[in-house]
A and B are shown apart, each in its own frame.
Chain A
Amino acid sequence: MSAAVPVSDLRQARDETGEVIAVEELGGGLVELTAHLPWLAAHAIAGQFAQLRCGPGPVPLLRRPFSVAWVEGQRCSFVFERVGVGTRLLAAMRPGDMLQSLGPLGTGFTLRRGVRSVVCVAGGLGCAPFPLLAAQAAMCETPRVVVLHGAATAARLYPADRFVRGLDAVEVREATDDGTRGHHGLVVDLLTRELLDGAGAMYACGPNPMLAATVRALAGTGAPPVCEVSLEAPMGCGFGTCLGCALPVVRGEEHRWALCCREGPVMAADDVDWDALRALPPAHVA
């Protein structure tokens, strides 16, 4: 691995156990879980994740990775859907239950001071890192944060006011596959030249095919100086030891596997080997 590749700093991660404060149903199957996790709250950068233990037993055996969606004081929130045994157990937690978290892990989005605007592209559950990103961008005095959010249907859109959280700088534009709210079509359709002109960064998170479409849409437009995507891969440990979460990356002529949990999940769009990524089975298959 060349020294130029940014790798997450594991010394920032800590295993901590904290009380669940709230488990909220947001409609459309989206769940937001908030827990008292002071270490994670103090150290997480938008785009980083925590490995959450979903239950006491051997099923599920491994922890599950979740983006840190929001931080308030010593509390952290995570957004997910019930897609398997782990997320069903998390959704069944009640205030007062104890949640174990290892984090923050992985790379976060690169935030810069002095930019006029940033654009976030969120597909489905790819909404998860953007409430925190919007707040951290605002802390970097970015005057305009535009969140483009798409989902299959209106009920499955993450509530726009939870991206905004009272910040004047944040503006949300929505798209649905079925046209039940906002633009009838794909979220990537909302990525207009007007938004990209002068933007300091474009950040995207969602299913890998949606990220590929987003990056394709940037080709030919004046892409912002920072273009980053948050990728997904079936993950074992989350801290670079099981070597399970390989993703294809390319730099010049050098093609290789990079670990989603250490060199990602946030990577520069240029570093991803999109052709090789497209050839892989979708992450949910594992």
Chain B
Amino acid sequence: MSAADLRVDLGRGCALPNPVGVASGTFGYGFEFEQLVDIQQLGAIYTKGTTPLPREGNPPPRVAETAGGMLNSIGLQNPGVEHVARDYAPRFAQWRVPVIVNVAAATVEEYVHCLRVLDSAGGIAGYELNISCPNIAHGLDFGLDPVAAGRVVAAARAATERCLVVKLSPNVTDVGAVARAVEDAGADAVSAVNTFVGMKVHLGIRGPVLPGRGTGGLSGPAIKPLALAAVARVRAAVRIPVVGVGGIASVGDALEFFVAGADAVQIGTANFADPGVAPRVAAELADAAERLHLSRLTELRWQPAPTPA
């Protein structure tokens, strides 16, 4: 039989050569990893969250390890959208791997401003709207409410012709409702999910390890069952592509997200412990598709029985 077709179309010309991307905040803008591994084997790079102005980030400690997980409160340290458009985008244009710039902002106007600045640059395949950063003041506001989420996505949709992926927060009652709202507002795809709000406490200091509010975003294998449930919920709520993310560290993990309803995946925290993991999973996914006699990975998708009303 012929090899499986692993390409993924996220919409508006954002065509990924394979489904395995790297999650925002775990790969910078690709320049460090470029020196360590072959990034051209990736399906996509979702960049560090990029804000209207440069941000210095939060005071340390910014990371804390937990059982099978990692809490972070980086505070969106990044060089700002102008710098990314001017200095980084021309470097992205040299790569075969599509680069999807993650954008974070505090107001609708700021999101629109960021997209206009980035739209002026080449080398960018699309945008991932971060409407759910748990580590900056007001950063969660849009992602927590379907109406607010729809409002920011509608404005973003009007501002750009490029592909818009919206990254969903799991820290909500019904992630499906937010997913449906952003689909209705014109999102081309959604990624599910961002980190879960968590806290690590140190008995010696009788308080949390992370400063400020003491909370951070939990990622890593510990959240995989939670992320799978969120992907299944989102899959049932929307028709647009779903990018599954949360605790993927192996090809087996990635396949589980296709079962739960994903069209593509992102590898996140695992990149820190194993910088070669994402290119390796991309290669192994092709082998797995052949071994499982799949022509497309979405053939793995679970079809839930209709639930009684």
B222: A residues at CB distance < 8 A: 58
A240 is an interface residue with CB less than 8 A from chain B = yes
**Does B204 contact A257, Cβ atoms closer than 8 Å?**
no
Q: In the assembly, what is the distance between CA of A58 and CA of B69, in Å?
A: 8
What distance in Å separates the Cβ of B276 from its nearest Cβ neighbour in chain A? Answer: 6
- Known A-B contacts A242-B63, A243-B74, A257-B57; the reply to A10 vs B36 at CB < 8 A is yes
Nearest B-chain residue to A11, judged by Cβ: B35
Query: Which size class do B's interface residues fall under?
Result: 35 or more
In chain A, residues 184-237, which have Cβ atoms closer than 8 Å to a Cβ of chain B?
Answer: 233-237
B48: A residues at CB distance < 8 A: 243
Q: In the assembly, what is the distance between CA of A241 and CA of B270, in Å?
A: 12
Q: In the assembly, what is the distance between CA of A245 and CA of B68, in Å?
A: 20
**Does A236 contact B276, Cβ atoms closer than 8 Å?**
no
What distance in Å separates the Cβ of B198 from its nearest Cβ neighbour in chain A? Answer: 14
B95: A residues at CB distance < 8 A: none
A161 is an interface residue with CB less than 8 A from chain B = no
**Does A61 contact B273, Cβ atoms closer than 8 Å?**
yes
B36, B67, B276: the one contacting A239 at CB < 8 Å is: B36
B221: A residues at CB distance < 8 A: 58, 61
A246: B residues at CB distance < 8 A: 57-60, 62, 77
**Does A10 contact B32, Cβ atoms closer than 8 Å?**
yes
Q: In the assembly, what is the distance between CA of A256 and CA of B54, in Å?
A: 12
- Known A-B contacts A244-B74, A285-B205; the reply to A59 vs B61 at CB < 8 A is no
Query: Which size class do A's interface residues fall under?
Result: 20 to 34
A102, A243, A280, A281: the one contacting B77 at CB < 8 Å is: A243
> Interface majority SS on A: helix, strand, loop or mixed?
loop
**Does B72 contact A61, Cβ atoms closer than 8 Å?**
no
B25: A residues at CB distance < 8 A: 242
B142 is an interface residue with CB less than 8 A from chain A = no
In chain A, residues 246-264, which have Cβ atoms closer than 8 Å to a Cβ of chain B?
Answer: 246-247, 256-257
Q: In the assembly, what is the distance between CA of A60 and CA of B222, in Å?
A: 12
In chain B, residues 47-104, which have Cβ atoms closer than 8 Å to a Cβ of chain A?
Answer: 48, 56-65, 67-70, 72, 74, 77
What distance in Å separates the Cβ of A272 from its nearest Cβ neighbour in chain B? Answer: 14
B134 is an interface residue with CB less than 8 A from chain A = no
What distance in Å separates the Cβ of B120 from its nearest Cβ neighbour in chain A? Answer: 24
**Does B36 contact A244, Cβ atoms closer than 8 Å?**
no
What distance in Å separates the Cβ of A76 from its nearest Cβ neighbour in chain B? Answer: 19
The digit string for B208-225, where 1 denotes a CB below 8 A from any CB of A, is: 010100000000111000
A13 is an interface residue with CB less than 8 A from chain B = yes
A144 is an interface residue with CB less than 8 A from chain B = no
Q: In the assembly, what is the distance between CA of A285 and CA of B204, in Å?
A: 8
A22 is an interface residue with CB less than 8 A from chain B = no
A75 is an interface residue with CB less than 8 A from chain B = no
28 contacts between A and B (CB under 8 A): A10-B35, A13-B35, A53-B274, A58-B67, A58-B221, A60-B65, A61-B65, A61-B273, A102-B275, A233-B60, A234-B60, A237-B272, A239-B275, A241-B27, A241-B32, A242-B25, A242-B26, A243-B28, A243-B48, A243-B57, A243-B77, A244-B62, A245-B63, A246-B58, A280-B59, A285-B205, A285-B209, A286-B209
